[in-house]
């Protein structure tokens, strides 16, 4: 489904001669194709599913945020703005992100559901959250919240 949305928007962007959107969508398609190829040896010939694509898009956003930080430190605002434009395009394919309160509630519920008692159980909690909230929360920020709640 997401794959088809990206392809449809790529066609629209090319027709509209929107170079930034076209370039970003092509990067997204290439990243998805790379993941599809990487999944083949494990018997997945159909390609990654929507949850895998959402995870990939989250990673792409994280990479761009890191680049923005470096560009800002290097006094290159034009490059930071270009990265932000790409983030905006990528985010348009993600479901609505959870608010801070919703994220905290989800983390507490996952801890309760998995019976996690210490930081050693963090993997179980993350797996539970990824299964339920793929693409809807920033898991790097969530890991800090889990550690805090589990006393790590």
The band of 77, judged by pLDDT with boundaries at 50, 70 and 90, is very high
Question: What's residue 152's pLDDT?
Answer: 63
What is the residue-wise DSSP string for 102-145? Answer: HHHHHHHHHHHHHT--SGGGHHHHHHHHHHHHTTTS-HHHHHHH
Sorted by where each begins, the domain ranges of the chain are: 2-91, 100-149
- CATH architecture, domain 100-149: Orthogonal Bundle (1.10)
Question: What's residue 30's pLDDT?
Answer: 97
Tell me the torsion sign for CA atoms 113, 98, 105, 58. Answer: positive
**More confident of the two residues 100 and 85:** 85
Query: Which of 70, 65, 57 is closest to 6 using CA atoms?
Result: 57
- CATH architecture, domain 2-91: Orthogonal Bundle (1.10)
**More confident of the two residues 139 and 13:** 13
């Amino acid at each position: 489904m997401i794959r088809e949305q990206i392809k449809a928007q790529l066609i629209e962007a090319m027709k509209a001669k929107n170079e930034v959107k076209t370039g970003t969508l092509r990067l997204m398609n290439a990243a998805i194709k790379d993941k599809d190829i990487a999944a083949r040896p494990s018997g997945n010939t159909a390609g990654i599913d929507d949850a895998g694509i959402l995870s990939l898009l989250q990673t792409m956003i994280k990479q761009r945020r890191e680049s923005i930080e470096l560009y800002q430190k290097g006094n290159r605002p034009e490059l930071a703005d270009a990265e932000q434009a790409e983030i905006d395009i990528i985010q348009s394919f993600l479901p609505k992100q959870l608010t801070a309160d919703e994220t905290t509630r989800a983390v507490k519920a996952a801890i309760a559901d998995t019976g996690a008692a210490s930081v050693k159980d963090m993997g179980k909690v993350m797996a539970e959250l990824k299964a339920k909230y793929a693409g809807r929360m920033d898991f790097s920020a969530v890991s800090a919240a889990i550690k805090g709640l589990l006393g790590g």
